[in-house]
Structure 1
Amino acid sequence: MCSGPRGNSKECSGAFTGAEIASQATITTQWADLKASCALHTDNIITAQEITAALEAWNARLTLEGDASDNKVRLGKSSDKTCTGSAGKTCIDCTNFFKKASPTALDKLPWYNKMRQAAVAIEKRALQQAQESLYATSIEAYQAAVLGKLVPPQSKAQAQAEQKGTGNSQKQQAICTAHKNNKKACTDANCIWEGGESGKGECEIYKNQFQSS
C-alpha cells in the first residue's frame, strides 16, 4: 500500500515516493526509503499498554462494508471495495480476518501476533520486576527486625563501656553489623565505617581492640 506509485496518493507519507515493486532488491530498497521518511524515536520505552493501544487504533482505522451476505474489510481507500493499487483503490484487503463465514483468527496475522506477544512479554517482565522488588524489600525488613531484637540500639557511652568491660568481640561484631547502613551510628559505636558518604555500606569491628584477649 505504501510503495505503489499509481494514483500518486501517498497513503503512508508525503515524504515517501512510491515505486513499482518487481523484485526482492526493489522491496529491500523501498523498505529502507519508507523507514527513512518516518521519525525514529529510539529513546522511547514502549509499554504493553502502548502496544495494545496501537493495535486498537489499527483496528479502528479499518473500513467495513457489507458485500452480499458477508463483509468486506480493508485498510485504506477504495471506490469499489477492491484493493488493486490503482487510483482510488490503494488499500489492504483484510476481509479474511473479519468475514462472518469461517474467518481467520487475527493471531494468524504475523505482524499482529508478534506485537501481541511483545505486549504479553513486557507485561510479564514488569510484573516479575515488581515481585522481585517486593521480595527484596520484605527480606530487608525481616533482617532489620531480627537484628533489632538481637541487638537493641545502644548509646555511644553504653557501647564503649561494653567494649572495655568485657572485650567480647562477638558481641561487638553484632553491634557493628546492626549499624551497617548508618555511618554516624557505626562510628559512634566505635566501629569502622566502610561505605563512603552515601549512607549505604558496611560497619566492621575494630579488631585491634580484641587482639590481646
Structure 2
Amino acid sequence: MSMKQGGAALVALILLTIDRVKAAADESEAAHRAMCALTEAASATFTAPSGTADNDGLNDKIQAANMSVADAQWQALFDDGAGSKPYDQTTSDNRTLADKLGGKEKWDGWRKAFADIKALNIGTKTEGEYPKINSEVERTIARQQLRSIAAQANKLEMTMKPLKAFLSDGKINKINENLRKALYGGDGELSTPTLDKSFSADGSSWNNLCKGKENRKSIAGDFFCICTGAGAGTKQCSGAYGHTAHDSQASINTGWTALQQSCGKREQSKATAGTIYTAVAQWRTALTQKASGSDNSVWLGKSSSTGTACAGTDTNTCIDYSDFFKKTGGQDLSTLPWLQALTGAATQITQAEETAAAVKSLQAQMQALQGASVEIYSAAASGVLAKEMTIAIPTAPPTQREPQAQTQKKQAELAETECNAAKDEDECKTKTGCIYDKANKKCTLSEEGKQPAENTAAGNQAGTDGKNTAGSNSFVINKAPLLLAVSLF
C-alpha cells in the first residue's frame, strides 16, 4: 500500500469513527424534535377570546330603562325603600307573589333593574343616554316600546350566559385541564412529570419506569424515557441534554427542567387547535414502523431492532408504541392517554372558537337593542315620541268598533289630563304641547298640542280602511333608524 493510499484509508477510518460517535450521541434527535413540539403544544394555555367576557352592562341599561318607565305600583314591588326584599328573604304572601311573577331569577332581576335606575342614572337627569322624561304621555308610549326591547334583551342574555360560561370557566371547557393531563398525566393538576402519574411509580430501573403500554401516560413521561437512561451514554437525544438519572422524584425534576431547556427557549404560547394537530402530525411522522412477524412494530426513537428492544441503553433509546398499532389484539390509537387528552383539548378549542363567534354576534344584537332603547328614551324625553308614533287600532266587528271621533276625543283627553297635572306655570312649560292659561291659572292643551291626537285618529282611520296593516295594539315607529333597529330582532 502506498503512502497516498494509506493516508486515504486513515482519513476514511477517522470519518467513520466520527460518524459513529455522532450517531450514538444524536441517535434519537428526530424523536427529540417531535416531543419538543408536543411539549410546546401541551404547555400552552387557553384564555377566553377578547370581546366575549361581558357586554359592558348593555342589558342592565335596557332593563333599568324599562323599569324606569313602569307604573309606580310595579316599581314599588322592587324598591328596598318600600320594603322589598331579595327573593330568598321573602316570606308568606310576598313569597307567593314573587313565585307568581316568575320566581327567584325574575324577582331578583327586577330588583336589580330598579336599583340600576339610580346606579346608572336612568331618567334621573336632563342629560345623558337616558334623560328624564317629564311627560306621562311620552312615558306611556315609551313603556310599550321598551317592554318589548327588554324582553328580547333578556332572551339574548339567557342565550349568551351558558356560552360565556363555557369560554370563561375552565371547569366547564376543560381545555387547560386536558392540556396539562396530556403533558403530565394524572388529573390535569401536575406541573412536572411525577412518579406513578406520568409513568410508573418505580424509577429504580429504566424498564420498571418506562417499559410497557401501561406506562404511556403522558407526553413528559414518554419524552423523559426516550432521552434519559442510566444505562445509556449521554446526549442521545440532544447535545443540550446530558441527564441520565431517574431513580427518584428529585432526579426526575432536575432532568425534566434540563430536557425542556434542550428544546430551546419558548415563550408561553396561546393554545390553538392548529398547533396541536401540527405537533401530533410531527410525532406520527417521526415514528418508525417495521414488520414483526405477521404484525408491525412501531416505536419512537432509536432501536437496534424493533420496539421490544427499547431499554434506555445505547442504540435503544426509544419508546414502544406497538400495542397502539397492532392489526389485531391491540388498542385503538385514540385511547393512548396523552393523545386522547391532547386531541380532546383541540376539539374543545375549536368549539370555543365557534362559541366566541356566536357570543360576538349576540352581543352585536344586544348593542343594537340598547341603541334602540336610547333612541326611544331620548325621543320621549324630548317630547317628540308621541308625534312620531301612529297607533294602529285593531280591526273589530262593526258592533264593537269605536267611532273615530270618540277615539280622537280619548287621545285629546289623555293629553289634556297630562297638562292639567302641572302644578304651576314653570312645570307647564316642561310639558310638550301644553300652554299655561294665566286667566284661569291652569295648564291646558294648546291648539298645537291637539294635532298629534288628530293625526292619530287619521292614522287609525287608515288602519280601518285597510291601508295600515300593523298588528293588534302595535306601535308603528315612523323614525326610520329606530324602526330598523327594532325590526332586526
* TM-score class normalised by the smaller sequence: 0.5 to 0.7
Conservation of the 8 A alpha-carbon contact between 1:9 and 1:87: no
Q: Which of structures 1 and 2 has the bigger CA Rg?
A: 2
The equivalent residue for 1:23 is 248
Q: Give the deviation of 1:5 after TM superposition.
A: 5.2
Instruction: Quote the residue 1:189 is aligned against.
Output: none
Q: Distance in 1 between matches of 2:302 and 2:379?
A: 83
Q: Specify which of 118, 126, 129 is matched with residue 353 of structure 2.
A: 126
Could you tell me which residue of structure 2 aligns to residue 73 of structure 1?
Answer: 298
The answer on whether the counterparts of 1:5 and 1:17 sit within 8 Å (CA) in structure 2 is: no
Question: 1:68 offset after TM fit, Å?
Answer: 0.6
- Which letter does structure 2 place at the counterpart of 1:86? T
The Cα of 1:12 is off from its aligned counterpart by: 3.1
C-alpha distance in 1 between matches for 2:383 and 2:427: 11
Separation in 2, partners of 1:62, 1:210:
86
Tell me what 2:263 maps to: 38
TM-aligned CA deviation for residue 70 of structure 1: 0.9
**Structure 1 residue 86, shift from structure 2 partner:** 2.0
Verify: 1:112 aligned to 2:322, yes or no: no
Q: Which residue of 1 aligns with 2:363?
A: 136
**Do the aligned partners of 2:243 and 2:258 also contact (CA within 8 Å) in 1?**
no
Distance 1:19 1:142, change over 3 A: same
The answer for the alignment partner of 1:170 in structure 2 is 380
SS state at 2:343 partner: helix
Letter in 1 for 2:325: F
With a CA cutoff of 8 Å and minimum separation of 6, indicate the structure with the bigger relative contact order. 2
1:95 matched to 2:305: no
Secondary structure at the residue paired with 1:52?
helix
> How far apart in 2 are the matches of 1:109 and 1:210?
79
Offset of 1:121 from its aligned partner?
1.8
User: In structure 2, the residue corresponding to 1:8 is in which secondary structure?
Assistant: coil
Matched residue type, 1:36: Q
Q: 1:61 — aligned with what?
A: 286
Assess if the C-alpha contact under 8 Å between 1:51 and 1:119 holds in 2.
yes
Given the alignment of the two structures, is residue 10 of structure 1 paired with residue 235 of structure 2, yes or no?
yes
> Kindly, what percent of the aligned residue pairs are identical?
33
Does the CA contact (< 8 Å) of 1:3 and 1:19 recur in 2? yes
- Paired residue type of 1:29: T
Stretches of structure 2 lacking an aligned partner (at least 5 in a row): 1-225, 386-425, 431-489
RMSD of aligned C-alpha atoms? 3.1
Amino acid at match of 1:66: A
| TM-score, scaled to structure 2 | 0.30
Aligned length: 163
Gaps spanning 5+ residues in structure 1: where? Answer: 152-167, 176-208
**Counterparts of 1:3 and 1:211, CA distance in 2:** 90
Q: Give the secondary-structure state (helix, strand or coil) at the position aligned to 1:64.
A: strand
Give the number of the structure whose residues are more often helix, by fraction.
2
**1-structure distance, mates of 2:262, 2:428:** 74
